[in-house]
Structure 1
Amino acid sequence: MAESVLAESAFKPIVVIPVYNHEEAISVTLADVLRFGYPVLLVDDGSSAKCRDVLVGLRDQYAGRVSLMRLEQNGGKGAAVKAGLRQALEAGYSHAVQVDADGQHDLDDIPLFMEVAYSSPEALVIGYPRYDESVPTHRYLARYLTHIWVWINTLSFLVKDTMCGFRVYPLTQVVSLLQEDCCGDRMEFDTEVVVRWVWRGLAVENLPTKVHYPIDGVSHFNAVKDNVLISRMHAKLFFGMLLRLPRLMRKKLNV
C-alpha cells in the first residue's frame, strides 16, 4: 500500500497545448481538456494579438487551473512543445500530455492515456489515429511515407504512428533527450523525437485514438516548407541510423 501511495504521489501530469492563431478552436479544446481535472499549460507560439487576447482571457477565466507561456516569435509547433515540456519539468510535473489546439483529437481518451502512463511511467505513450471521413486523402496516404522511413530508421515496427500529436511524455527523460539531441522546431518534431527516443532504447506504448480534421479549418502545415524540412529530417535520421547500425542490430538480435 505504501508503495502505491508513493507511486501515485510521484505521478504529477500536466496537459501542454501549443497554440498558434487558433483563437476560434482553443476555447472549445481547453474546456474539453479541463473536464478531467488536470492542470493545463498553454504555449502561445507568437500568435496574433487576437489569439493572444483570447489566451490571456482563458488564463484569467480558469485561474489556478490554466497557465500561459508566451513565445514572442513564432518558432513552430516543435519549438512550442519543447518550451512547454521544459517549463512543465521546471514546475515540478512528472509527465506532460501533448494535444493539439485545433480540436482534432478525441480528448475522451485522456483518462486512458493517463492510465497507461501511470502504469508504465517510463514509457512514451503515443496515439495512433483512427480517422473519420474528415481526413484529406492525400494527408492519409502521405503518412505512410513517414511510417516507412520510421521503420527503416528504427529497424523496427515498435511505433505505429509518429505524426499524431496526442501523446504523454515522461518529462525527465524527454527533456534530457532534447538537451542532448537537436530535434526540429516545426512539424518534423513529432516524428524526430520519437525516433530518437527509440534509438535510446526507451519504452513506447501505442494507443488507438480517433482523429478528425480540425474544427476551425485552420492548418499551419506549409506544403513546401514543412515537406522540405520533413524530407531533410528523414535523411538526417537515416544517416544517424547508419552510425548506430551495429548497436541497433545487436539489440534487434539480442546479442
Structure 2
Amino acid sequence: MTSDSHVVVIPSYNTGRILVDTIREALKHWQPVWLFVDGSTDDSFRCFLDSPEDWPGLSVFVSSENEGKGATAIRAAKEAEHAGFTHMLLMDADGQHPAKEIARFMGLSRSAPEAMILGQPVYGDDAPWVRLAGRQLSVGMVWLETLGGGVGDPLVGFRVYPVKALLEAADNTRFARRYDFDPEMAVRLFWRGTRPIRARISVIYVSPEAGGISHFHYLRDNLFMIWLHLRLIIAFIPKCIRVAQLSRHFRSLEKAGS
C-alpha cells in the first residue's frame, strides 16, 4: 500500500544483517518507508545506498553521529511534517516487530487520526524473562501517570503518531531523546489530550544465531527508566486533575467502542 499521509519510519543503529530483512518486509506492506541510520558503524545500511534502484519506496537518511532513538524519531517527525505527512508509524529495525501489521495499524490511524495507535505486546516463548520482569516497572508507573487512561504497555516501539502532536510534546521536554522516548512520549501525548488506542501485536525476540542484536543493558537501562518515572511523577502532580478528566474521557470512548 502507498500513502501520501502516513509514512513508516525505521531508526537503525548497528542492526547488522537483519536490517535488510526488516526493510524488505516493511516495503512489502507499505510505501513509503524511511530508514534513519543513527550513526551506525557496521555498514548494515550500505546496500541501500549502493543500489537504490533495488529498493523502490525507500528513502535513507544517514547521520554520522549516534544521537539516540528518541532524537532520531523527532528528527524523522520533522522531516515527515516538512514533506507533508500527517502521521508516521515508528518500528524497530531489529526484527522484533511484524511488518505484516503495518497496514492494520495505519488503518486504525486513518479511522481515528487524532489518536496515537500503541502496540500492545503478545510474547512468545523466546522472550527473555528478565526483560519481561523489568518492563513491569514502566507499565505500572505509566498506569499511575495516566491514571489508567489506556496507554497499556508503554515500551513497545511499534506505534503510529500524529506528527504535529508528537513534535509539540517533544518540544515540552529536553529528555526523551534515547530509550526513554517511547514511554515519555506516550505519557506526554496523553497529557496533551491525544487519545491512546491499543492494538495487540506479536513481539519476536530474534536469536543471535538468526542475526538478532540487542543494545539493551539490564542494569543501566532500568536505572534510566527509574529516573524517567521520577521526572514524570513530579511533572504529573500539578496535572493530576486534568489527567483524571482525560482518563475518564478516554475510558468512556474505549468502553463505547468509538
TM-score, normalized by length of structure 1? 0.89
Deviation sequence 1:114-163 (CA, Å, 0-9, x none): 11001001110010000111100111122211111001111124112110
What residue number does 2:252 align with? Answer: none
Of residues 17, 29, 41, the one that matches 2:22 is: 29
Task: Tell me, yes or no, if the aligned pair for 1:41 and 1:69 is still in contact at 8 Å.
Answer: yes
Q: 1:203 aligns with which of 173, 189, 195?
A: 195
Match in the other structure for 1:84: 76
Alignment correspondent of 2:34:
41
Q: Percent identity?
A: 31
> Contact 2:146–2:247 at 8 Å: present in 1 too?
no
Return 5+ residue gaps in structure 1 as ranges: 1-9
Deviations 1:214-234 (A, max 9, x none): 352211112333222211110
SS in 1 for 2:197: strand
Q: Following the alignment from structure 1 to structure 2, what is the Cα–Cα distance between the partners of residues 94 and 60? A: 27
Q: TM-score, normalised by structure 2?
A: 0.88
Structure 1 equivalent of residue 152 of structure 2: 160
Q: Return the match for 2:241 from 233, 246, 254.
A: 246
Please state whether the residue corresponding to 2:88 is helix, strand or coil: strand
1: CA distance, partners of 2:168 / 2:182: 16
Cα RMSD after superposing both structures = 2.0
1:69 Cα deviation after fit:
1.2
Maintained 8 Å contact 1:23/1:54:
no
User: Is residue 14 from structure 1 mapped to residue 7 from structure 2 by the alignment?
Assistant: yes
Partner AA of 1:31 in structure 2: R
User: Residues 66 and 222 from structure 1, CA distance in 2 versus in 1: closer, same or farther, beyond 3 angstroms?
Assistant: same
- Does the alignment pair 1:237 with 2:232? yes
Query: How many pairs are equivalent?
Result: 245
Offset, 1:50: 2.0
Q: Which amino acid aligns with 1:26?
A: L
Structure 2 gaps, min length 5: 250-258
Q: 1:219 aligns with which of 207, 214, 222?
A: 214
Q: Which residue pairs with 2:86 in the alignment?
A: 94
Please state how far the C-alpha of 1:239 moved relative to its aligned partner: 0.4
Residues 73-127 of structure 1 show CA distances to partners (whole Å, capped at 9, x for unaligned) of: 1111112111111111111111111111011112111111011001001110010
The 5 Å alignment of 1:139-178 reads 139-178=131-170
Q: Which residue of 2 aligns with 1:50?
A: 43
Report SS of the residue matched to 2:29.
coil
- CA displacement at 1:182 relative to structure 2: 3.0
Q: Closer, same or farther in 2 for the Cα pair 1:225/1:179, shift >3 Å?
A: same
> What is the letter of the counterpart of residue 158 of structure 1?
G
